[in-house]
Structure 1
Amino acid sequence: MKPEMIKKTIIRVIPAVFLVALSAFLLKGDVWTFWTWYLLAGVLGIVGMAVTGRLFRGFADKGWMFSKVVSITITGFLTWFLVSVRILKFTTVTCVGITAAFGVVCIFLYERQRRQGYDCLPIENLDLVYAEEILFFAVFLLWTYLAGFHPAAHGTEKFMDYGFMEAMMRSKTLPATDLWYSQGKINYYYGGQYFAVFLTKLSGTKVELTYNLMRTFVAAFAFVLPFSLVHQMTLDMQGRVSGWKKNLPSITGFLAGLAVSIAGNMHYVVYAQIIPLIQKLKGEEVSSYWFPDATRYIGFNPDVPDKTIHEFPCYSFVLGDLHAHVVNIMFVLLLLGLLYAWMKKVRNTTPSVEKQGRKKFWMKQLLMPQILAAAMLLGMFHWTNYWDFVIYYVVTGGTVLFMNIICLKGDIRRIAAVTAAQAVEIFAIATVIILPFTLQFTTMVQGVRLAQNHSLPHQLLILWGLPTVLTLVFVISLIVEKLKGLEHKSLYRLMKAVRTPDLFAVIMGLCAIGLVAIPELVYVRDIYENGNARANTMFKLTYQAYIMFGMTMAYVIFRLLIVNRKKILKAIAAIGLVLLLWTCGYFGRSVNSWFGQVLDPSQYKGLNATAFLETDYVEDVGAIKWLKENIEGSPVALEANGDSYSEYERVSAMTGLPTVMGWYVHEWLWRNDVADLNEKSGEIETIYTSTDTARVQELIEKYDISYIFVGSCEREKYGENLNNAGLESLGEIVYQDPDYETYIVKIEK
């Protein structure tokens, strides 16, 4: 090997060696689980390239980063499907076996592609692949290190998220028994937590660590997948260039990663930067800023009855949620990547019934691999986050319509026929593959209603003005630019004149604007009708708008600043770039507020999501650990029920053991049967307080209770009415805390 090659190799290896060493230093004992998940993702990515390389064949990296998610999706979903239809049990052996089977199939696909002369691996762009791997490792490490400063699965809805994981870890069937409603199964979009459990079982790691690792895993994908997609869009737009411009795809892709996963919104710029500066200059008291304010603005400032929610990924990653909308980020980004890969593939094809014959023409239109894959992903969204099914069915439909207008040369009849057929096909596939979930699921939706309240104009401008202005300026400039060169003006000719990356940016930007506008017009009705009726609708729709806006802004800034020659557009793009980078300050503010002294590695607490029990529940921690370590399966363990977001249900949440009834509002949302919940609440109190032994025994049999937990919450709730003597007489005391009054009774049956 020549000295130049040796030097170049050493230079390339240094970042990898440094990051590995840094991870060992920062994560301490947690690093083994971190490395395990990183290597597992890498292996799955390599194996999945037999599939991904075909789907993303137009990408410079052949979809390398997307391949990790492709493999997780295929193996995880297939495992869930076979378990749900009762063909297999949900065990580690099943997870490993199905993944191994997928690997064998991929080996055959590799061999077949090799014989066909097609290489699905990005051999010609290994530098890009290496750079993406370094970026993925670095972002994964960053978020994992930060998570170790606030690892507790405690607060907000973390009891629910963690409890779902523990319940599925115990269960060999899916859906698992609802940990907060022992007489029913989980009636929620539990797919996100399922994938966390699937990877936990597949990697042989512990759920106490992987609860946090899953959210940092998703955060890493939320950076590198936008990087990969926008990198390719930029590359397609600028073509081959030399000099400094050859770095533009990477710069633009990096900006997209920042915009989607690191940045906040303009609320931070206005209320945490500009207004405090003005107050300071005027000698006034400077307003404080709490990072959740950026997600609770409309309805809160000014304070009005119409309370809404407008969260975004960085807030979720900092707060530590592992909710449906968070885990689904990596899957919706995969869908957007597939749509762009499909656009690149079909852009230059002109299907013809006359040349191909009717049967071949329709076969080709209905058997496009990327569209079939998109349909399957959309079906999965019913289970991972149903809102995303509705949102991205429309995004997919819009993409299909736009491309059909171009490929079918503006033939209205044929465009309508093909688009309708593909829409029906996508909906049918999406519906059929998810039947094991939908047949057991009771919807929480109570209809759609016209919005009675509306956001103030300045609030919409602050939250969504920046991406909306950039999108509209780009769309208008694009239309003006293309119309000038058209002799015969029509929608078909205009769209044909627009290049593929420009068109995809327009689709994402306009869809995002639509998602912001919808909650101002209508909302989906649920139990939160009074006071915050629009909250859930705005939350779920604008969350996805933020993701699409992030990638659109990065691309549009590149397009207007570098490619366009008009000074006014360059100036707008430059201002947009400054403001977008300014919003990234939200990350620093929120990290400092939530995680604390992150620059001091000695303050790192570790990833164990249950370690908080030692300090926050000293009276109960021993008993909770005993249940988790000694009880197999999912017998009912009774504990006192309480309100949502409270400390109640700490036993069921930390062990996964079902209790008779848990968080009241959550079960109200999931089951919409207040009378039943009130009855259960009363009967739980009867068990803990009644002196009527016969009635207590009757209720124990009714709910098939195996254990009764008596700890701090039970003593607090029932006070002097707590019938300790009666409870102890119901069976054997299998655990008695030596320092506190906490005990567990095993019911005699």
Structure 2
Amino acid sequence: MQIFSVIIWIIILKFIQMSIWPLLKSPLGRFSYGISYPASLIVFALLSWYCGLFHLPVHFALVFFVVLLFYYFYKGEYTKKEIFENIRWDIVFFLFFLFMLEVRYLNPSISYAEKFMDHAFLASIINNPTVPPVDPWYSGGNLDIYYYLGHWIFGSLGVISGIKSTIVFNLILPTVFANTAVSLYAIGRLLLNRYEWLLLFPLFIVNPAFIYHLILGKSIQTVIWDSTRTIDAAITEYPVFSMLWGDPHAHVISFLNQALFLFLLIFCYMKWNESDEKTKWILAVLLSISLGSMPLLNTWDVLIYAPVLLLTGILIFFRNKNRNEDKHKITPDKSFLKSDLYLYLTKALPLKIFIIVPVLSVIIYLPYYLMLNTSGVEGIGIVHAPTSPFAFILVYGFFLAVLYLECLNDLKKRPWILAFLIPFGFFGYIGAGLCVVPALALVLRKNRTAQDILGSLGLLIIIFTEIIYLKDNMGDDYFRMNTVFKFSLIAWMMLGISCFTFIGKYLDKKFPENSKTEISQKMICQNQTWPGKIKLPENKKCAYLLGIAICIILILPVLLPDMNYGYGGKTLDGMDWIKTHHPYDYEAIEFLRSLNGTVNIVEAENNDYTYYSRVSSMTGYPTIIGMPFHEQMWRGDLGLVGERMSDVRKIYENPDDCISLMKKYGMTHIFVGKSEDEIYNVNLPYNQFKEIFRNEGATIYALY
């Protein structure tokens, strides 16, 4: 049955992708087929979100795609020739999807880390796809305190597909991985004449800390974890860790939108001035939806990418500033509004990027901001204990090495740039100083390329995290944790694109094309012309390479470190491990999942990252309090988390308070299993309950 779930999932993804593809042909040309994969998802997110907002079935979101599909089919936009010419995009998508699907098949459990939270949100949305979604860990509350759009996208797809939430959970990361890969591959084809596949490497490389701990002889599980905790009291994740770790958390789901947004920015930077008005409008709308989705996907992203969008607009303007400068004067017989200068400014200034995109990105999700109920960032602070140079190199050393090698000639021409190391070193910010040098060298280049800009931006982000942090409620010990964590992942994406583009340029120069065979390979593997204008030559070498890639994709997950930590695998159902480890709970939870109508259930609470909260996490049904530290972070003191924890204990232990407290929180059922017996002296007013389920280790009662 699980294979049918995968097939249904792929059919839906392929359907929405094919529907939107013809719409993107004009603005994106040879990139349209591939980019329609992630673009269709963010459009689906917007449409389904509004269905939830107006309490309409999320299936209505498909109407837009159905109309597009029939319209473009009628117009003859789907031809075998074009589809075959774009098959490379399908190959990239499905290879990466299958790779991560196999990883999830081997490590599927909804068990440790943030998996309980991620599935709780997902299941809650599938149970009741309305906006704002119900918070399953805080009865009576909503997820208006969190960025939930990533879970919303896949929850809505789960509703439409009819797939069990515990299986949908393990289809999220394959979908994210594949969509991110397609966008990175598109960037590779945009920036490189050859070796475009190098741009997929940021998804696979580890940081130097991984190699360091491996050399020390640590176990592979320890190596993996320690490499992401290199900077004191901070998280230094990198994409391949995030994917293998298996949490479909907000920062991971956002990869697909980040990569799409970066592609769109690079495309605009390179093509804006030669694009027609229709193309610019479509690009502006795509940018608006992508940027507008960021606060709902992973709010930290927009803090970086919104300024980067405006910077891109400035760079586009200056990229074209030297054209027709002799016409840019106000003559005496002309007013300013009729002058050539005014006409030039209105044409050269990318006003759609400066005005339309920011405004539209806010408007499209305006109801989200009006419903938002969180304090957010409380201010900024100065990092008084910067990262040690050794730890800094262990995290960012690879990118620094590539960029210093790339900038050697720049530093020979401008050796004074090295002097910027001195003030940073004097104040102890050596890591920041190491970043300033190549960043400045790249910025000072006369003809800045996209990879120059991305490299310098990535370095500037790292410099920011070394000197400044955003104040949240993580406490004094972990004051830098989220700033380093969230921003360094953005920097990783930018630096990865920059560095592997430089590597590709170097290889292209070192090993130039010099034969008809290589040119043929370039034609079939890269497709440098627009769709419909290419003849695909046969090339056995390319077929062999594809076969090798498929073998690697299928074999590599088996060779990867075992990260199921004893929870078992070889299934796509993330709840299967409970059947083995907690069989009585499994039977009871499955019974609960089969119930119709409203279910709000009392269960035991006992801190975060434990097996407790397992009922709400596996069903998505609201409980009084799930993981308390999470709710405390989201809701602050106004959430009265401590009071809820105390009330749960009273419900289980004090018959006189039990019923009134259950009614206070809108509870309909109460769960009594081994976990409840372990921490409470269970004493319920049984005469006021109806027993609806019992096995040897778990009982479920319903209020009369």
TM-score, with structure 1 as normaliser: 0.76
Q: 1:123 to 1:345 in 2, by over 3 A?
A: farther
Paired residues for 1:402-413 under 5 Å: 402-409=315-322
The match for 2:505 is: 559
TM-score, with structure 2 as normaliser: 0.80
The match for 2:162 is: 204
Task: Tell me whether 1:645 sits opposite 2:602 in the alignment.
Answer: no
Aligned residue for 1:180, secondary structure, equals coil
User: 2: distance between equivalents of 1:646 and 1:596?
Assistant: 14
User: 1: distance between equivalents of 2:52 and 2:241?
Assistant: 34
- Residues 361-408 of structure 1, C-alpha deviation per residue, up to 9 Å, x if partnerless? xxx699643133212211111111111111211222222211111123
Task: Tell me whether 1:100 sits opposite 2:50 in the alignment.
Answer: no
2:585 to 620, 630, 638: 620
The match for 1:518 is: 464
The match for 1:315 is: 241
Displacement, 1:226?
A: 1.0
The match for 1:747 is: 703
1:256 to 164, 178, 199: 199
Contact 1:253 1:554 in 2 (8 A): no
- Aligned partner of 1:43: which letter? F
User: 2: distance between equivalents of 1:594 and 1:423?
Assistant: 45
User: 1: distance between equivalents of 2:610 and 2:564?
Assistant: 22
Task: Tell me whether 1:67 sits opposite 2:36 in the alignment.
Answer: yes
User: 1: distance between equivalents of 2:578 and 2:564?
Assistant: 18
- Residues 653-691 of structure 1, C-alpha deviation per residue, up to 9 Å, x if partnerless? 001100011111100111012671111111111111114
User: 2: distance between equivalents of 1:428 and 1:180?
Assistant: 34
Displacement, 1:708?
A: 0.9
Displacement, 1:206?
A: 2.2
User: 2: distance between equivalents of 1:230 and 1:130?
Assistant: 17
The match for 1:663 is: 627
Q: 1:447 to 1:121 in 2, by over 3 A?
A: farther
Q: 1:314 to 1:368 in 2, by over 3 A?
A: same
Paired residues for 1:316-355 under 5 Å: 316-348=242-274
Displacement, 1:478?
A: 7.2
User: 2: distance between equivalents of 1:185 and 1:683?
Assistant: 20
Q: 1:565 to 1:316 in 2, by over 3 A?
A: closer
Aligned residue for 1:154, secondary structure, equals coil
The match for 1:678 is: 642
RMSD: 3.3
User: 2: distance between equivalents of 1:107 and 1:287?
Assistant: 51
The match for 2:115 is: 158
Contact 1:382 1:434 in 2 (8 A): no
Paired residues for 1:481-560 under 5 Å: 498=447, 503-560=449-506
User: 2: distance between equivalents of 1:389 and 1:530?
Assistant: 25
2:50 to 73, 81, 97: 81
- Aligned partner of 1:558: which letter? G
Q: 1:473 to 1:423 in 2, by over 3 A?
A: farther
- Aligned partner of 1:261: which letter? L
Q: 1:746 to 1:50 in 2, by over 3 A?
A: same
Displacement, 1:590?
A: 8.9
Q: 1:595 to 1:652 in 2, by over 3 A?
A: closer
User: 2: distance between equivalents of 1:744 and 1:286?
Assistant: 43
Q: 1:158 to 1:222 in 2, by over 3 A?
A: same
- Aligned partner of 1:386: which letter? T
1:611 to 562, 576, 599: 576
User: 2: distance between equivalents of 1:714 and 1:605?
Assistant: 30
Structure 1 residues without counterparts, runs of 5 or longer: 1-28, 236-247, 277-284, 300-306, 352-363, 483-490, 567-583, 598-602
- Aligned partner of 1:744: which letter? I
The match for 1:452 is: 384
User: 2: distance between equivalents of 1:121 and 1:526?
Assistant: 53
- Aligned partner of 1:334: which letter? L
Contact 2:44 2:153 in 1 (8 A): no
- Residues 494-534 of structure 1, C-alpha deviation per residue, up to 9 Å, x if partnerless? 99973xxx621122211211221211111111121221110
User: 2: distance between equivalents of 1:471 and 1:401?
Assistant: 24
Aligned residue for 1:104, secondary structure, equals helix
Aligned residue for 1:63, secondary structure, equals helix
2:25 to 42, 53, 56: 53
User: 2: distance between equivalents of 1:234 and 1:82?
Assistant: 41
Contact 1:54 1:120 in 2 (8 A): no
Contact 1:49 1:121 in 2 (8 A): no
Contact 2:45 2:149 in 1 (8 A): no
User: 2: distance between equivalents of 1:596 and 1:51?
Assistant: 46
Task: Tell me whether 1:297 sits opposite 2:255 in the alignment.
Answer: no
Contact 2:189 2:196 in 1 (8 A): yes
User: 2: distance between equivalents of 1:622 and 1:701?
Assistant: 26
The match for 1:180 is: 137
- Residues 683-726 of structure 1, C-alpha deviation per residue, up to 9 Å, x if partnerless? 111111114x2x333222211111111112211111xx3214x2
User: 1: distance between equivalents of 2:186 and 2:319?
Assistant: 25
Displacement, 1:338?
A: 1.4
User: 2: distance between equivalents of 1:40 and 1:716?
Assistant: 45
Task: Tell me whether 1:370 sits opposite 2:295 in the alignment.
Answer: no
The match for 1:710 is: 672
Displacement, 1:80?
A: 0.5
User: 2: distance between equivalents of 1:457 and 1:479?
Assistant: 21
Q: 1:198 to 1:651 in 2, by over 3 A?
A: same
User: 1: distance between equivalents of 2:278 and 2:220?
Assistant: 58
Q: 1:50 to 1:481 in 2, by over 3 A?
A: farther
Q: 1:432 to 1:404 in 2, by over 3 A?
A: same
The match for 1:700 is: 662
Aligned residue for 1:594, secondary structure, equals coil
User: 2: distance between equivalents of 1:32 and 1:517?
Assistant: 48
Q: 1:105 to 1:42 in 2, by over 3 A?
A: closer
- Aligned partner of 1:536: which letter? N
Aligned residue for 2:263, secondary structure, equals helix
The match for 1:723 is: 683
- Aligned partner of 1:369: which letter? I
Task: Work out the percentage of aligned pairs sharing the same amino acid.
Answer: 22
- Residues 455-488 of structure 1, C-alpha deviation per residue, up to 9 Å, x if partnerless? 0112212211221342354367579999xxxxxx
The match for 1:573 is: none
Displacement, 1:122?
A: 10
